[in-house]
Structure formats: C-alpha cells, structure tokens
C-alpha cells in the first residue's frame, strides 16, 4: 500500500488480482496528455496503428473489469478491446489474431491502445476474445438509453425564487442560491458552459445572444445543429437555468447571465459508450463547465455507470480540459428517492470526476425526489416545495408549454445547471481554479441548510456534512468571494489499499454482518474516497454498506431497498463526506444483510483515498507544529501565541511581524490592530512620518495615522488642533472677532456677539452681521431716517436699502400703495375711478351703495357696468334718465329720437322714418305693416279675382295677320296672365295680347285673373286660314258699320263658341299645360320699403 503523486495527467492506483476473466494486473504510472477532442476515427487500411499505450487508470480498468465479469451473454456488433501490443503494428496482423470476421476497425482517442471491432452482425464473442492473449481487456459496446432526470409536476408560481427568494409562493425568504450576491462583480462572462442533453433551442431570445453555434454538436443527428425535436424541452430549460441571458428586458435570467453557451444533443436517442465519451469530452479545450442533467434509471433497481471510453473521457476532462486546469462536469444526483434509489448506485454521478448535485426546495429542505448519497458534493434549489423553477422553454408549442417560458421545471435536472452557472461565476472571478480547486471552494462556501435535519454531522475536517445535501446548499456570493481570493491547492496524491480479499458469506439479517479494516498512514488531507466493492448476492437490495473514517465519520454507501437484482460487480462507491479529514488511522468497511431469505458472499474490496499532503498543524495557524517549536518559538497549541489577533503563520509569512510580540514596533498599537483595523505599518512606529507615533494619533490626538499631520500656517498648532490650518490668525486661544470666522477654534463662530447691540438699534450685533447684513455700529445703515431695528421689526423693509417716497406724498414706499402717484396714499379719500385711492386694498368701496345722480342706478354699477355718468341722471341727454332707459331696454349712452315726428320714439315705432307708419296708423292693402303690429295687410276682406270680358279684334284671321285679344277683370284682381299654344307669336301688354300665326289652324289659349295665388281662368280660341286669291272688284265705299258689342258678337258666333269650348275641354283632358313662366300683369301701385332700421340694443336689454 503506497501513495503516488499526480503531476499532469490521470490518477493511477495500486494493482489487484481479479479472478475469472481478469488476467493482467494494473500498474501505477502517469498517462500522457490525450487529444482534447474525443471522437473515434476509422483507421486507414494497411497502415500501422499510431498509438502510445499507457497503463489503464483505476477507473478505466475497473470499467473494463465490470464489463468482463458481468456474466452477460448479450450480443453486439461492436466490441471495444484493449490491445496495447498492437500499437505500431499493422491492421492485418490484428485481424489475423482475432478468431472471427471483422468488418472494420476504429481507434478511439480516449484510450490509446484500444480498438473498436465492428462486426457484420451482432454476436457474442466473449470466449473468442478471452482466448487471444494480446486482448488484455474488452467491453461489449451496446446502445445506452439515458433519461433526462425526472421533472416533478407539482404546482408552482412563476418567479425565479431560486435566484432571489423574497418569500414568493410561501417559500422561506432568503432561501436561494444567493446569486445576486455575486452579480455585482461577475456574471459568467467569457466562461463556456456545455449543456449535454436532448438539445437546446439556441434561437430562444434568452439563449441566443451568447450561444456559440460554431462549436456545438448533435450526436443523435451527427451534425452541427443540436436543436431539439418537439417535446424535448429538457435541455432548453436546463440551459436557461445555467446561462439564460439576464438584464435584457426579456424572459428569464440564468445563474451565469452572461456566460457563453453551447448545446450538445445526446440523450434524445439511444447512444453508445463512444457517443457519451465524445459528448462529455466535446471541445474540452474550450468548455469550462459540462452540465449534465441525465443518467441511468432512477428505479432503485439499476446499478450502472460509465463504460471504459466515457471513463477515460471524464479523466481527460479533469487533467487535460481547459488547458490542463480541468473541465468541470456536473451531474444530476438523481430523482429516485421515492424508489429508495441512492445516488451512489449511479456511476455517472458518483464518479470523483463529476460533481454530484442534490435538490432542495424553496424552504431549504430536501426535495421529495432527491436521492441521498455520500457522493453528493452540494445541493441546489429546485422544485419540490411550494413552486417550481422558472426558466426557458422551446419556442412555440414544442416544449413544456405553448410559450417560451416554463414555470414548473425541477428535479436534480434543474439543480445541476444552477450549480453549473455558479461555477461559471467562480471561474470568471478566478480563471486559474483547477477542477479540484472548484470542489474545494464549493465545499468551503456551501451553507448548512435545513439545520434541524438529524443527518448533519461535523466531520474530522470541521465541515458539516449530510447524505441528503453533501456539504450543504450552494452559495454563489460566498463561493465567488472565496474563489477570488483562493490559493490553489497542492498537487494531488492518491493512496490505495490494493485489493483486499474477503471471500466470506454475509450473515443473513443479523445484528452484525461482516467488516474489514484498513490502517492508513499516507499523510493525506482527504478530498474524496472511493471503495471498489465486489459481492455475489441474489438480492443486492438487502445489503447495507458503510465506510467509517478514522475520525468517526460514516458514509452510507448502500442501504436496504427493493432491488432484487444480483451482485455488486466491481462497483465503485464514492464519498465526499470525509473532505479535509486526515487519511491516517483505521478505516472500516461494514457489510450487513438486512433482509431474510436471500444470501450472498463478500468477495473483495479496495479503498482508494485522494487528496493532498497533510501538514500537521494542531492549532491551524498555518505553521507546522514542528516549525513552531523548533524555529519560531510559538505555541503549537495556540494559533495566536502573542494574542494580537493575528495567527502565528500570518505573522511569519504575510505581515513579517513577531508572532511572540504583540506590538512589534512599540507604538502602543498591537500588530493585529495596525493590520486589521488602522491599516498602519506594524513594523514602523510612525507610519506617516509626521512626528506623531501611530498610537498617539489613534489614542490621543484622534488623527489619521496614515496621513501626514502638518502645521501649514505655522501657527504652532497641528491641523487636527487648528480649525483652519491655512490661516495663522485662526487658532486656539485667539480672540474672537465678529467676522464670520471661528477665530479661537472653540464654541462656534462669533460667539459672544449675540447679546451685544453696539448701535442701540434693537438688533444684536450678531444678527446684524450674519442675518441682516447691516452695519452693527450704525443704527441707520441705509441712511433713510429709519432705524435698522424699526425697518426689520416694524416696517419689515430692507435696512440695507434706503426707503424712498418717490411721489413726495409723505408716505414711504412700504406705506404707500403706489409710490409713483401722489394722488394715491393712505391719507386720501376714495374716488369712483377703479383705483385704490386711499391704499386700504379696497377699490371704490365708498360707492357701493350710493346713487349720486338719483337715476335709480348705483354709482358703482354706472361706473363699472353701464358706463354711464354716475353724476348725470341723463347721460345721453334724450330726456329720459339712465335708470328708465335701462328699464325699458334702451341704451342710456345713445339718445332715443323721433325722426319722423309722429310722436313715438324709434324704439316705439316700427319705421321711425315714415310718419304714415306707427302703432296708431290704419292698416292698408299695400304690402306694408302700417300699424306696427308685426303683420302685413291683416284684417282686410278676402280678394276674389275674376275675368269679366274677353274681347277679340276678330276670332278668325288669315295667316300673318294680328288678332288682338283684350281681357277685363274685377277690382280684386292683381294681375292678368295670358297663355297660348305654340307656335303662336304673342305680344302682351297689361290686359291685352296680340297674336300672329304663320300657318293655318285653330289655336288655343287661356287668360287668368290672379290675386295671391288665386286664379280665375277663361279659354281663348283663334283660327287662322290660308290667304285666298280673289278677283278685285271695285266697290262703292259705304259707311262704316257700328261696332258690335261683346254680347252681340257672342250671340252671332254662339256656334263657334260652343265648338271652341268642346275643343278646349278636350285639350284640357289630354294634359295641355300653361307655360312655367307667364308674363305677369302687375298692379300699378308703388310701395316705398326704404325704412331705416332701429339701433342694435341687445346689450341694453334686460
């Protein structure tokens, strides 16, 4: 049993002998650095294999052994073999050695000297491989079906309480990851997080800004686009928790709100050991944190872990990733607590190359699904209490919701990326942290949550540990603070007990089972512990396995649960609960069978301890005990030998002060006070070289021992004694003057002058100087004849400004309401003029009730409202006083006249320019309102127009000859209208129409008597005949006949009249119409409508 240092590459362990298929021991040597990108490449035919083999590490070798001894008979078309002797040899030689047909050969980069044999069809070739001496190790490659960690479906509130818990949803205030405590200084900038999951929606607004799409990968589709398919929202939500962009006025924020991000699509399909190795090792040269929220089944009946290639990739991440500092891999601790699953049954989460994460609620207690496990390093907040986690979701309807925000994410699937984000914050604060340093910082910064839980114990290193929570709840603020000031740990050492053979039956359900002890003297300060355990048992869930350290800390590696599967086959348990304990002493492994019926055999086990050299420092002061006694003469049992609040180690290595003299420089301040409180030099009595020792300045003068104390004005007083070190006239013991200065540096400024009144103006000297700015030796500073005291206390005027009487009316401006108008002053009588004449702040107040001109109007109203003369009863001199005019509605400012001399004024007369029109005139039929009652021609008899006589010059005539028709109407007729058929040519004059026709025919017409749209019409009928050719016969001139009367003509032509009447009746029946615009006969009466309008008096109306 021995201890080995780890320098640059993988960790190796002591060899052991394994029965069955295991044939070759494992030796401890250093591996060379492996290539950062782990992806299997087909070898080139007929070329030599280019590889430099190294001995297998503990983890890789154990993964091979587990595969070789699992008792399976499954078939596969891919087999991984470890044949280091083939390096430098030809492929044909390898094919000759293998006793079965090989289709192709690949060389995986993760394990130099290993080869993937591709068969034409699946087969079981275990025996064949066992028969080939050059095949030192082999493993069947089979598809894996990893599962995203279960997301509980409890109700939740949509707020990111895991980042800042204010009590929303009834959670405990402050129960969060304290991310806001880190965001003031770091946000994950420049740190790349890889989310290995079922894909990431990298077009999401909260993921796309810092997404590095040039280096992501889809190991399901074998392309560069790891976008998820519908219903695969797990990876997108995990990415949002870790690195969602914050402070962008959109959606959610991740823990590392400005970190870079890539998605690696792996678990959306079945995959192989090679796929997992490539995915977790993807771009380890660039990836700082690989976040993995997945693992084997949480049924409680599965014990499964990484196969050889993934084991090698995990080790490469630790020793080669991030330029040799290590790519940090986080893994979900599992959600199978309801199935009594334990995180130590998950070889992914219990690997010392990963950080196993448990989940706690918004109350700080264990989430109902989160698995216990000694392998858990820290716990982080997730769903399980009153609410879930709010994070990103696939855009549209392809995720958990139909939006791009999900309020109910949870499980260790959410806790793990939260830890990933916090680690990104730590790496921004200190990019030099190694993989182990990150674990140390998490251990030292973790907060003890759920403090009343009975599983909390303090381990031998002084850390509170718990199987539910590891070292406690993650605290981003404290982690960043510690990381920023962290000194990287020393190189790693590993100790192994070698394989310890037990080969005993385990007592069935007894109080005491089997136990074995190992005494360790490696001198290590423990970080992690691994137990390789092999037992045959027909119901492995019966077994309870507990590791106890020399300090008494117990790690429950396996507990009784309902797992009826067989055996623990070379299974590696791990524990993080012994962190910083001493490795030295007796370690005990106990194995108990806690159920009747099924039995088994404990075959063998191995204890492996990882850590750094342990230095014995009993008092933890940073000095080894040996150095304290032999070199420094300090007390190895007292961390502060001189009681100056500085640890001995700090005084030796940091402050260079004496660890056995509390006041190294004898300045009356002990070294701790100088360094921790006053920041002075503990090795120099007068740090600022001002002649005053640090102790004097701190304890006596109360000055700053870091600032040089000067006497700038050379008045004999230091600045901290002198109230003005730039004025030699200002100093203690100086006489006080009234000058606004504290001349004597005591009792304030100008003390003693508040009770003096040197000029007897009833103002103190202090008030005159500081308040009034007056001359405290002159009672009338402005020389205006008023004492300063009277101006301030009586007149409230400015005593520094002469108070004038500009209008010389005997009143100062502050007494006079208008000091520019001598007609206004307090001594004058008020006048009705709209001005405050007597300065009593009232205007025209003496005229509110007076009526000086007795016109029935108040003087104030005449002045302000009516604008009439308040001393003249008849302002417009029209014989009516102003009050009466307003009463009747006329304007008292304009004279009311009788222009037509009819005895009525204009406002009484409807036409004051016509004496024939007045309220007293008779109404005439003339279209005028003669009696001013608003009506025209009212009260007169109704008119009945009537045609009396129609006279023709001749009813029949030759064409082109005139027929004159004359109509006579009664006296009620206003006009006579004629209407004729076309094409008669008509000329109308008053009551006579002259008609002419150019063609023969009978023509009709109508004549009407009209009054006020009342018509009385008669028909007219004329006839035109052609011109007849006649022989001219001389005739004897006879006497003219007497013109017949209308009645005689009518009698002579009765037949013609009857015929014409019949014709007229027919014309009327068939619709003959009068012209629309007949010539109208007007009565010959002229009406004068030129009447002047009355004045516009609406303003005077009542």
Active-site residues: which are they?
Answer: 197, 234, 413
Task: Locate 714 and state its tokens.
Answer: 């050379």
CB contact set of 487 (below 8 Å; sequence gap of 6+): none
- Exposed, middle or buried by CB within 10 Å (0-12, 13-18, 19+), for 708? middle
Structure-token pair, residue 890: 């006329």
- Helices (H) then strands (E): counts for the chain: 20, 36
Q: Do the Cβ atoms of 421 and 399 come closer than 8 Å? A: no
Q: Is 498 exposed, middle or buried (0-12, 13-18, 19+ CB in 10 A)?
A: middle
Q: Are 205 and 383 in contact (CB under 8 A)?
A: no
Phi/psi of residue 1021, nearest 5 degrees:
-140, 125
For the beta sheet containing 41-42, the strands, ordered from the edge strand earlier in sequence to the opposite edge, are 41-42, 104-107, 114-123, 76-82, 137-140
Beta bridge partners of 372: 342
Q: Where are the alpha helices (DSSP H) in 559-670?
A: 625-627, 648-650
Q: Which residues pair with 466 in a beta bridge?
A: 470
Is the alpha carbon torsion for 444, 447, 449, 452 positive or negative? positive
With contact defined as beta carbons under 8 Å apart, do 263 and 229 qualify? no
Query: In angstroms, what CA-CA distances link 282 with 35, 42, 296?
Result: 11, 18, 20
Coil, helix or strand for 860? helix
Whole-angstrom distance, CA of residue 1067 vs CA of residue 1075: 15
Please name which of 468, 358, 373, 334 lies closest in space to residue 419, comparing C-alpha atoms. Answer: 358
Verify cis geometry, omega within 30 degrees of 0, for the bond prior to 983: yes
- How far is the C-alpha of 773 from the C-alpha of 766, rounded, in Å? 10
Pairing of strands 405-409, 457-458: unpaired
Rounded distance between C-alpha atoms, residue 1036 and residue 830, angstroms? 117
Structure tokens belonging to residue 885? 């005019």
Task: Find out whether 663 and 670 touch, Cβ atoms under 8 Å.
Answer: yes
Query: Coil, strand, or helix at residue 1036?
Result: coil
Residues in a beta bridge with 55: none
Nearest residue to 280 (alpha-carbon basis) of 333, 371, 355: 355
Residue 275 CA from chain centroid, whole number: 40
Residues 17/126, Cβ–Cβ less than 8 Å: no
Structural contact between residues 99 and 123, judged by C-beta atoms closer than 8 angstroms: no
* Main-chain dihedrals φ then ψ at residue 698, nearest 5 degrees: -75, -45
The length of the chain is 1102
φ, ψ for residue 265, nearest 5 deg: -90, 115
Report which of 710, 608, 586 is spatially closest to residue 13, judged by C-alpha positions: 608
Which residues are 967's β-sheet partners?
Answer: 950
Q: What is the radius of gyration, based on Cα positions, of the chain? A: 61
* Bridge partners for 1011 per DSSP: 1014
- Three-class SS of residue 468? coil
Residues 6+ apart with CB under 8 A from 475: 177, 178, 181, 445, 446, 447
Helices 412-429 and 476-484 pack at an angle, to 10 degrees, of 30
In the three-class reduction of DSSP (H, G, I as helix; E, B as strand; rest coil), residue 873 is classed as coil
Distance CA 903, CA 890 (A): 17
Reference 408, options 385, 389, 394; nearest CA is 389
């Amino acid at each position: 049993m021995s201890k080995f240092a780890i320098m640059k590459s993988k960790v190796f362990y002591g060899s052991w002998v394994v029965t069955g298929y295991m044939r070759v021991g494992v030796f401890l040597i250093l591996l060379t650095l492996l290539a950062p990108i782990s992806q299997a490449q087909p070898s080139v035919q007929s070329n030599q294999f280019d590889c430099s083999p190294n001995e297998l590490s503990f983890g890789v070798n154990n993964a091979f052994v587990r595969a070789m001894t699992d008792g399976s008979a499954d078939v596969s078309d891919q087999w991984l073999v470890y044949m280091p002797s083939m390096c430098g040899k030809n492929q044909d030689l390898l094919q000759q050695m293998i006793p079965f047909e090989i289709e192709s050969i690949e060389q995986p980069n993760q394990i130099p000297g290993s080869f993937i044999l591709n068969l034409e069809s699946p087969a079981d070739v275990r025996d064949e491989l066992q028969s080939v001496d050059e095949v030192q190790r082999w493993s069947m490659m089979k598809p894996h079906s990893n599962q995203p960690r279960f997301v509980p479906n409890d109700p939740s509130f949509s707020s990111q309480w895991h980042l800042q818990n204010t009590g929303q949803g009834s959670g405990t205030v402050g129960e969060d990851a304290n991310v806001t405590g880190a965001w003031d200084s770091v946000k994950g900038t420049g740190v790349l997080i890889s989310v290995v999951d079922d894909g990431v929606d990298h077009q999401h607004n909260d993921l796309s800004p810092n997404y590095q799409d040039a280096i992501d990968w889809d190991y399901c589709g074998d392309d560069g686009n790891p976008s998820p398919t519908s219903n695969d929202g797990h990876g997108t939500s995990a990415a949002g928790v870790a690195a969602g962009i914050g402070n962008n006025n959109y959606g959610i924020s991740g823990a590392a709100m400005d970190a870079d991000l890539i998605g690696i699509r792996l678990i959306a399909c079945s995959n192989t050991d090679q796929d997992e190795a490539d995915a977790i090792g993807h771009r380890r040269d660039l990836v700082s944190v690989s976040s993995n929220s997945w693992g084997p089944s949480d049924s409680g009946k599965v014990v499964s872990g990484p196969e050889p290639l993934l084991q090698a990739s995990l080790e490469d991440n630790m020793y080669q990733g991030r330029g040799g500092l290590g790519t940090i891999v986080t893994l979900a601790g599992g959600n199978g607590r309801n199935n009594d699953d334990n995180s130590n049954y998950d070889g992914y989460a219990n690997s010392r190359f990963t950080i196993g994460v448990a989940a706690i609620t918004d109350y700080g207690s264990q989430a109902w699904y989160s698995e216990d496990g000694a392998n858990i390093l820290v716990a982080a907040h997730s769903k399980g209490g009153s609410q879930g986690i709010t994070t990103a979701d696939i855009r549209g309807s392809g995720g958990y919701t139909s939006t791009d925000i999900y309020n109910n994410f949870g499980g260790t699937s959410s806790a793990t990326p939260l830890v990933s984000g916090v680690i990104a914050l730590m790496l921004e604060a200190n990019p030099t942290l190694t993989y182990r340093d990150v674990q140390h910082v998490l251990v030292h910064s973790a907060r003890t949550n759920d403090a009343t839980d009975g599983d909390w114990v303090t381990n031998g290193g002084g850390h509170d540990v718990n199987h539910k929570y590891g070292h406690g709840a993650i605290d981003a603020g404290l982690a960043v603070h510690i990381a920023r000031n962290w000194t990287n740990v020393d190189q790693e050492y590993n100790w192994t007990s070698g394989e310890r053979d037990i080969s005993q039956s385990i007592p069935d359900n007894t109080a005491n089972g089997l136990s074995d002890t190992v005494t360790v003297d490696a001198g290590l300060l423990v970080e992690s512990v691994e137990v390789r355990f092999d037992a045959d048992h027909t119901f492995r869930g019966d077994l309870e396995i507990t590791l106890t350290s020399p300090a008494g800390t117990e790690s429950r590696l396996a507990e009784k649960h309902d797992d009826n599967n067989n055996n623990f086959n070379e299974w590696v348990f791990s524990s993080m609960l012994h962190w910083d304990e001493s490795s030295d002493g007796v370690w005990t492994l106990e194995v108990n069978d806690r159920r009747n019926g099924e039995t088994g055999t404990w075959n063998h086990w191995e204890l492996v301890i990882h850590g750094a050299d342990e230095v014995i420092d009993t008092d933890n002061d940073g000095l080894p005990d040996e150095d304290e006694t032999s070199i420094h003469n300090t007390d190895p049992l007292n961390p502060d030998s001189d009681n100056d609040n500085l640890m001995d180690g700090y005084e030796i290595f940091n402050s260079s002060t004496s660890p056995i003299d509390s006041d190294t420089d004898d300045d009356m301040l002990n070294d701790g006070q100088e360094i921790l409180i006053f920041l002075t030099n503990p090795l120099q009595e007068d740090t600022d070289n001002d002649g005053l020792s640090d102790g004097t300045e701190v304890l006596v003068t109360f000055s700053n021992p870091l600032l040089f104390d000067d006497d700038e004005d050379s008045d004999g007083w230091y600045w901290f004694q002198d109230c003005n070190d730039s004025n030699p006239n200002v100093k203690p013991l100086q006489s006080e003057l009234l000058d606004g200065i504290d001349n004597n540096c005591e009792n304030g400024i100008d003390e003693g002058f508040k009770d003096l009144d040197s000029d007897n103006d009833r103002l103190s000297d202090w008030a005159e100087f500081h308040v009034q700015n007056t001359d405290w030796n002159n009672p009338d500073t402005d020389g205006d004849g008023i004492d300063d005291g009277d101006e301030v206390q009586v007149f409230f005027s400015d005593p520094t400004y002469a108070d004038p009487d500009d209008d010389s009316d005997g009143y100062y401006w502050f007494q006079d309401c208008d000091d520019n108008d001598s007609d206004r002053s307090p001594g004058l009588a008020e006048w009705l003029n709209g001005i405050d004449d007597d300065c009593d702040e009232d205007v025209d107040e003496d005229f509110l009730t007076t009526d000086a001109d007795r016109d029935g109007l108040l003087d104030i109203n005449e002045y302000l409202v009516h604008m009439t003369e308040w001393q003249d009863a008849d302002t417009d001199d029209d014989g009516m006083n102003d009050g009466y005019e307003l009463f009747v509605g006329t304007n008292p400012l304009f004279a009311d006249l009788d222009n037509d001399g009819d005895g009525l004024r204009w406002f009484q007369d409807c036409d004051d320019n016509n004496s024939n029109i007045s309220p007293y005139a008779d109404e005439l039929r003339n279209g005028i309102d003669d009696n001013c009652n608003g009506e025209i021609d009212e009260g007169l008899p109704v008119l009945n127009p009537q045609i009396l006589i129609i006279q023709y010059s001749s009813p029949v005539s030759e064409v082109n000859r005139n027929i004159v028709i004359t109509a006579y109407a009664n006296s009620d007729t206003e006009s006579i209208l004629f209407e004729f058929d076309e094409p008669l040519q008509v000329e109308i004059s008053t009551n006579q129409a002259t008609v002419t026709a150019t063609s023969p025919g009978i023509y009709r017409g109508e004549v009407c008597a009209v009054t006020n749209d009342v018509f009385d019409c008669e028909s007219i009928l004329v006839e035109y005949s052609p011109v007849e050719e006649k022989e001219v016969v001389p005739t004897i001139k006879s006497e003219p006949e007497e013109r017949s009367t209308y009645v005689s003509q009518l009698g002579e032509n009765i037949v013609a009249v009857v015929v014409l009447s019949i014709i007229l009746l027919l014309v009327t029946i068939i619709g003959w119409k009068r012209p629309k615009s007949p010539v109208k006969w007007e009565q010959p009466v002229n009406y004068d409508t030129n009447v002047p309008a009355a004045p516009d008096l609406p303003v005077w109306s009542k």
